[in-house]
Structure 1
Amino acid sequence: MRQPDIKQLDQLFRTYCTKKWRSVAVENTTTLAFKKGETIFKEGQRMDNMYMVDKGRVKVYTNYSKDVEVVIRFATDGQTLGHRGLGADHVFPVTAEALSETTVNILPLSVFEDLLLNNNEFCYYFMLFITEELRRSEQRKKNLLKMSVLQRVAEAVKVNVESFGFDKKDPTLLSYTISRKDISSLANTTYESTVRSLSDLQSEKILQIEGKKLRVLDLEKLCEFTTC
């Protein structure tokens, strides 16, 4: 069976749930708005709901210590949040924070579990979604071990591109540039090393730095640069 593009939870509902259960999902979904910097859910909080970004940008991260924040992933329109809390204890192991004005659709966990139990295809493809995310995460960890600091920073920029894409009116400008702090976290390096590496990538004519924003001048070269 061919695996489809399953980045978006709403696509799973529409494609793999019966009409009856699609209606159940819609009837039980509420929407909340979050301002930039607001927490959607917090590490250690009990999981009572599944979340899906309706519109906006979200950072998912964990704290290894009081001062060490590790970025796990980013999410945008249609993408799911909260699934890392699924399990025996139903506790979130990560925090989700709005990076911009964001609206989130919220589905009670009990309803989501009923959807899984009563829609076999939905359950199957949701399982594939989780395992694919885990596979990519593990592969990225392995790749980072082989990379230089410069390559890791380039990889973080590539993650930025993959997560949020380019400006529709300006095809080389990132639609949203993550902070230097978040680039440092993704690259597992210091802020100072991140700034130096971005300057080096600019010298290589791969990037152009415009204040806090980044422009990718050569996407193909950026991708080649991050290949181990």
Structure 2
Amino acid sequence: MSLDAIFPIKNWYFSTQSVLDSLSEEDYAFLISRQEKQKYKKGEVIYKEGVFPSGLFFIHYGKVKKYKADQNDKEQILYIINKGELMGYHPILAEERYTDSTSALQSCLISFIPKEDFLTILNRSPLFSKRLLKVLSNELAVFANKISIFGQRTAVERLAIALIILREKFKIDTIENKVIQIDISRNDLAGIAGIATENVTRLLKDFKSEGIISTTGRIIQILDIMKLIQRSNYVG
């Protein structure tokens, strides 16, 4: 059964992959293929809030967390960006500084795309521009939904929703018919759900005792998605 049939995942999920699919082979080669690739280790910062951008980024493999940190360096994770996606295009379009930071959630291979190349393709490909605008609209709706829902939810409901979203994010790296493995630290999971790390640890033990998940180190496997959705108490 598709997750869409039992949980409104589209309210929580967007992707820039469809934007790149709109490019011709020539434009894709110009924007992506000719750029140099750089490896990032887990935890390594890719860009920092407050810096003026000189380009954007394309993830060849790995996952990146998009976050804001407070004065005590406590992170609120806004979103997880997957392989095959673009990131860092907002401040270029707005001609502003980065309003958030990003770092590697796991080992990544990433290309830097100069601002000039991005704007060239944006100007010569109407379909690319149209799809990017659609993604921006979807992204705004996802963030608005997260702010609205998470502000009204209990810790257990927030964690359940976070795990459902992460299951979809990590599915892209999973062979069909294999169990999806969510590889994430408890601190990062707390940053996504917006709850304390000690609460994450306690609630994961509860989920485990209920047969909803299994854990091996930092790896989480969701065994009963229906029960997890019930624990999210989400209607939307």
The bucket for the TM-score relative to the shorter chain is 0.7 to 0.9
- CA separation in 2, counterparts of 1:61 and 1:107? 21
Q: Is the 2:14–2:142 contact (alpha carbons within 8 Å) kept by the matching residues of 1?
A: no
User: What's the secondary structure of 1:65's corresponding residue?
Assistant: coil
Task: Tell me what 1:224 maps to.
Answer: 230
- CA separation in 2, counterparts of 1:23 and 1:168? 28
Name whichever of 161-170 and 61-70 sits farther off.
161-170
- How much does 1:55 deviate? 0.8
For the pair 1:97 / 2:103, whether they are aligned, the reply is: yes
- How much does 1:101 deviate? 1.8
TM-score (norm 1): 0.86
Q: Is the 2:50–2:100 contact (alpha carbons within 8 Å) kept by the matching residues of 1?
A: yes
Structure 1: segments with no counterpart, 5+ residues: none
Task: Tell me what 2:69 maps to.
Answer: 63
Matches within 5 A, 1:116-195: 116-165=122-171, 167-168=174-175, 171-174=178-181, 176-195=182-201
User: What's the secondary structure of 1:152's corresponding residue?
Assistant: helix
- How much does 1:155 deviate? 1.3
- How much does 1:167 deviate? 4.3
User: What's the secondary structure of 1:44's corresponding residue?
Assistant: coil
Task: Tell me what 2:5 maps to.
Answer: none
2:88 aligned residue (79, 82, 86): 82
- How much does 1:12 deviate? 2.7
State the aligned residue count: 221
- CA separation in 1, counterparts of 2:39 and 2:201? 33
TM-score (norm 2): 0.84
Name whichever of 128-137 and 18-27 sits farther off.
18-27
- CA separation in 1, counterparts of 2:187 and 2:59? 23
1:46-95 per-residue CA deviation (whole Å, 9 max, x = no partner) reads 11111110011211111132332110111121011112323444311111
- CA separation in 1, counterparts of 2:122 and 2:54? 16
Task: Tell me what 2:15 maps to.
Answer: 7
Q: Is the 1:152–1:187 contact (alpha carbons within 8 Å) kept by the matching residues of 2?
A: yes
- CA separation in 2, counterparts of 1:26 and 1:191? 38
- CA separation in 2, counterparts of 1:13 and 1:173? 26
- How much does 1:6 deviate? 7.3
- How much does 1:136 deviate? 0.9
Q: Is the 1:206–1:222 contact (alpha carbons within 8 Å) kept by the matching residues of 2?
A: yes
Structure 2: segments with no counterpart, 5+ residues: 1-12
1:194-214 per-residue CA deviation (whole Å, 9 max, x = no partner) reads 111111112221112222221
2:120 aligned residue (94, 114, 123): 114
Task: Tell me what 1:73 maps to.
Answer: 79
- In structure 2, relative to structure 1, the CA distance for the partners of 1:198 and 1:127 (3 Å cut) is same
Amino acid at match of 1:214: I
Task: Tell me what 1:31 maps to.
Answer: 37
